[in-house]
Structure 1
Amino acid sequence: MSEATKKGLIPVLRFPEFRDAGMWKKTSLKKVFSIFQGYAFSSTDSTKEGVRWLKIADVGIQKMDASTPSYLPINYEDEYQRFLVKFGDYVIALTRPILSCELKIAKVDIIFDGALLNQRVGKLVTDQSLDFVYYLLQTGQLISNIENNIAGNDPPNLSSQQIGDILVRIPLQDEQQKIADCLSYIDELVTAQTQKIEALKAHKKGLMQQLFPAEGETIPKLRFPEFRDAGDWEAKKIGQVLIVNARSIKMDDEHDYSLVTVKRRYGGVVSRGVYKGGAIKVKSQFLLSANDFLISKRQIVHCACGIVPAEFEGSIVSNEYSVLRARKNHDIVFFNYFAQHPKVSQSFLECSIGIVIEKMLFKLNDWLNKEFLFPSFEEQQKIADCLSSIDDLVTAQTQKLATLKAHKKGLMQQLFPSVDLVTE
């Protein structure tokens, strides 16, 4: 590593045509860009349709969020023209702008093209490469410096004045654009990969709606050929499909135990860590086996249930959980998908008691007496295999996405000089 690299004067990785271009220029953020703040529109201005209203909730981490649309009167488009944003602009959240060490900054997409900028959202303004500045603001050390500069306010608010004196180094615009083009290409790959995953998830959701009977029906709309003449699905109580299988253990204070929990919204069984028996306060614990069906009694209203994977064989949970197994001629993988059906989700709430939802307690016996429709064991397996194959594809594509993001992160660490060394 050269002395210039060590001192943060040039990046570790540089495109060939710029290797003899000299040191990056030291400057302050206020000379690189400014933040144009939106207008304080009143909530009473809101309309059902008109010009899109770009609010702080619409700005995510490197992406816009169009899930909660808001609108202002169409005549505001002319009246507040200077607050309009266009496709390709970059906007940044100005209140609580940093989440998990990442800045809430995003490129205005086609949905928000021509939207009006609200007060706590800012637009980047620069005479440098706008795309380069966007990626500069994704570098970890700079984000850390920004976070330090806006600390002390509750909530933390961002403005050009607060961060303007932070020092950075930037290259000439040709090199800026080369870096931006490189990272933009990776972002396009990330977007395409994300869309592929979302398409697979949507396909799975659509399949599940057809592979299980609709309300008032006894057979599904979509059935595998070998089961089309198999007749109606059979009404059974949950207790005829699952059986409670709580394996109590006596803990040794010096023994290491793997603890697990189950995430909300069918998020799966995950580790809570490994602890000595003496450090575990709740002494009533149950041993888990692969393919157990685990239910969190206090979180099941949020659909906290799932199958114990093989990697957590021998882990333990407290008596705040219910541990069940599939009875003979019933497939636990099928049941895991079945449990995600809206009617089953509703049954979790119906079988829980309490006034405050976060403190509701699941009445397992009531739920075991709930009746639903089930197919034969063979059809259960076929459905489970079909949906599992899609989940395997989602997992594989998600791993590819993680690899792309890791590649981008590694590139950025090498394409930008170390910001924390820009002090001289």
Structure 2
Amino acid sequence: MTRLTPSAKPELRFNGFHGSWTICELGDYLTFKNGINADKDSYGSGYKFINVLDIINNDFITNELITGTVNVDKKTFEKNEVLYGDLLFQRSSENREEAGQSNVYLDHNNSSCFGGFVIRGRAKRKYNPVFLNYLLKTDLARKEIISKSGGSTRYNVGQDTLSEVKIYISGDETEQQKIADVLSAVDKKISFLKEKHALLGQYKKGVMQKLFNQEIRFKDKYGNEFPDWQEMPLSRLSVKVSSKNTDGSVTQVLTNSAKDGIVNQGDYFKKDIANQGNLGGYTIVEKDDFVYNPRISVLAPVGPIKRNHKGQGVMSPLYTVFRFKDQNLLDFVEQYFNTTMWHRYMHSIANFGARHDRMNITTSDFYALPVLIPSKEEREKIVAFIRVLGIKCEAVKKQLELTQTFKKGLLQQMFV
């Protein structure tokens, strides 16, 4: 743990503030209390009830943002009431780095209560609650809290350990307010960019569905309709890839992620799942091959089909690998498989059997998958339009990431 000196100064300060920040214990500013442990039938109605997810998923907490409720008597509620300016801490986590995460309650008009997996910190000395919320998210404060967490399978913090957490704090309320205002403004920008990115993503998804089900059609350069789309089975458009890595010469193991597409297995899982000495039965995939993963998820309710942009590698034999005969189709079918247009057919042929997390589909049924193919010129217009939308989404995503990095820098420099 970092050895803390009695006083220090942050790197970045507003004009007019020169004094050192002083070290103190969190218990000098807050008194702590554990929350309600009600029986399971008490949940689902009654008072708004703060749980761990409310702490993790929000920049700050208000009554409106709380999703849970608990039915308790008025005396119990008042004993566990959460008021404006109270700090809430996560008591335990499977991951040590997440133990003791905190948030602040910023609702002047409505109070709430809190659960047994949460610890409430209430002011016994005056502080700016927004400022203190940001302070507790700095690297130094997080390291202090994490270092005091205990446990083996789960990591816990308690009232006593939180009381002993050392923090550097400015005693000047004006400086606290200025720091809080700047970081709040950055958070508003981040929230705006998140919403903008989500809306662009929804718009792109909706437009893609309409393009591929032909609700939206382009016209040629003379303003005429393009020809009707042709329906063809996947077997006519592609060939099955079945080359095995019998000599073990290919060592890059790839996986098909519903969210990220074809990725290196070690990077995705942060460890190698496959045994490097037992890759002989794995299928060799080349750049621009397509891979179907039968594992279903929220993001891929019939399993994802993704294009390989990573280059040569090997995939588990559980995956279906196929290669399109016409390279001019690649960009179009890649976007097609990002829609849900083909999902109904997959549901119609699937036999889930005992594995409810995996689609069970015969090879012949899979390659009978019907694909509608427009003319080359219309395909190019569709792909170009989707690409423009993708560029806009990526631009907002990049702006969001830069703003988040900027905020992280401010947290490091505006606090000790």
Pairwise TM-score range, normalised by the shorter structure: 0.7 to 0.9
Which residue number corresponds to residue 229 of structure 1? 225
Q: Deviation per CA, 1:356-415, whole angstroms, max 9, x where unpaired? A: 234665533321113354433433332222222222222222222222222222232233
Q: Give the counterpart of 1:262 among 232, 256, 273.
A: 256
Which residue number corresponds to residue 191 of structure 1? 191
**TM-score under structure 1 length normalisation:** 0.77
On the 8 A contact 1:51/1:114 being kept in 2, the answer is no
Q: Deviation per CA, 1:137-193, whole angstroms, max 9, x where unpaired? A: 112243233233232165434332232112222121333333322322222221121
What secondary structure, in the 3-state scheme, does the structure 2 residue paired with 1:291 have? coil
On the 8 A contact 2:55/2:103 being kept in 1, the answer is yes
CA 1:90/1:210 → structure 2, altered by over 3 Å: closer, same or farther?
farther
For residues 190-209 of structure 1, the aligned pairs below 5 Å read 190-209=190-209
**TM-score under structure 2 length normalisation:** 0.78
Which residue number corresponds to residue 272 of structure 1? 265
- Structure 1 distance, partners of 2:4, 2:209, is 58
Q: Give the counterpart of 2:235 among 235, 239, 242.
A: 239
Q: What one-letter code is carried by the residue in structure 2 that aligns with 1:262?
A: N
Which residue number corresponds to residue 128 of structure 2? 129
What secondary structure, in the 3-state scheme, does the structure 2 residue paired with 1:379 have? helix
CA 1:121/1:233 → structure 2, altered by over 3 Å: closer, same or farther?
farther
Q: Give the counterpart of 1:105 among 102, 105, 115.
A: 102
Which residue number corresponds to residue 138 of structure 1? 137
Q: Deviation per CA, 1:311-347, whole angstroms, max 9, x where unpaired? A: x223333433322223338622332332233353455
- Structure 1 distance, partners of 2:67, 2:344, is 28
1:198 Cα deviation from its structure 2 partner: 0.9
- Structure 2 distance, partners of 1:412, 1:138, is 8
Which residue number corresponds to residue 325 of structure 1? 323
- Structure 2 distance, partners of 1:86, 1:383, is 53
Q: What one-letter code is carried by the residue in structure 1 that aligns with 2:188?
A: E
- Structure 1 distance, partners of 2:305, 2:99, is 31
What secondary structure, in the 3-state scheme, does the structure 1 residue paired with 2:254 have? strand
CA 1:198/1:8 → structure 2, altered by over 3 Å: closer, same or farther?
farther
On the 8 A contact 2:49/2:66 being kept in 1, the answer is no
On the 8 A contact 2:100/2:157 being kept in 1, the answer is no
1:58 is the counterpart of 2:58: no
- Structure 1 distance, partners of 2:351, 2:65, is 30
- Structure 1 distance, partners of 2:65, 2:132, is 27
Identical-pair percentage: 18
- Structure 2 distance, partners of 1:346, 1:280, is 39
- Structure 1 distance, partners of 2:333, 2:290, is 9
- Structure 2 distance, partners of 1:71, 1:152, is 29
1:289 is the counterpart of 2:286: yes
On the 8 A contact 1:62/1:107 being kept in 2, the answer is no
For residues 79-118 of structure 1, the aligned pairs below 5 Å read 80=77, 83=80, 85=82, 90-96=87-93, 101=98, 104-107=101-104, 114-118=111-115
CA 1:236/1:54 → structure 2, altered by over 3 Å: closer, same or farther?
farther
Which residue number corresponds to residue 387 of structure 1? 386
1:263 Cα deviation from its structure 2 partner: 0.8
1:86 Cα deviation from its structure 2 partner: 6.3
Greater alpha carbon shift after TM alignment, 333-342 vs 99-108: 99-108
Q: Deviation per CA, 1:73-107, whole angstroms, max 9, x where unpaired? A: 7x978983565556776544334286755864345
Which residue number corresponds to residue 148 of structure 2? 149
Which residue number corresponds to residue 11 of structure 2? 13
On the 8 A contact 1:101/1:140 being kept in 2, the answer is no
Which residue number corresponds to residue 422 of structure 1? none
- Structure 1 distance, partners of 2:134, 2:95, is 15
What secondary structure, in the 3-state scheme, does the structure 2 residue paired with 1:168 have? strand
1:114 Cα deviation from its structure 2 partner: 4.9
Unaligned 5+ segments in structure 1 are 214-219, 418-424
Q: What one-letter code is carried by the residue in structure 1 that aligns with 2:336?
A: F
What secondary structure, in the 3-state scheme, does the structure 1 residue paired with 2:252 have? strand
- Structure 2 distance, partners of 1:56, 1:283, is 46
On the 8 A contact 1:263/1:305 being kept in 2, the answer is no
On the 8 A contact 1:258/1:273 being kept in 2, the answer is no
On the 8 A contact 1:38/1:122 being kept in 2, the answer is yes
1:120 Cα deviation from its structure 2 partner: 2.7
- Structure 2 distance, partners of 1:249, 1:408, is 47
Which residue number corresponds to residue 311 of structure 2? 313
The RMSD of aligned alpha carbons is: 3.9
Q: Deviation per CA, 1:18-66, whole angstroms, max 9, x where unpaired? A: 5531x32121111133445443444434457x65443333332544799
1:203 Cα deviation from its structure 2 partner: 0.9
CA 1:232/1:335 → structure 2, altered by over 3 Å: closer, same or farther?
same
Which residue number corresponds to residue 36 of structure 2? 39
- Structure 2 distance, partners of 1:61, 1:284, is 43
- Structure 1 distance, partners of 2:396, 2:229, is 34
Q: What one-letter code is carried by the residue in structure 2 that aligns with 1:28?
A: E
1:352 Cα deviation from its structure 2 partner: 5.7
CA 1:343/1:185 → structure 2, altered by over 3 Å: closer, same or farther?
same
On the 8 A contact 1:77/1:84 being kept in 2, the answer is no
- Structure 2 distance, partners of 1:250, 1:133, is 60
On the 8 A contact 1:301/1:357 being kept in 2, the answer is no
- Structure 2 distance, partners of 1:100, 1:387, is 39
CA 1:326/1:103 → structure 2, altered by over 3 Å: closer, same or farther?
farther
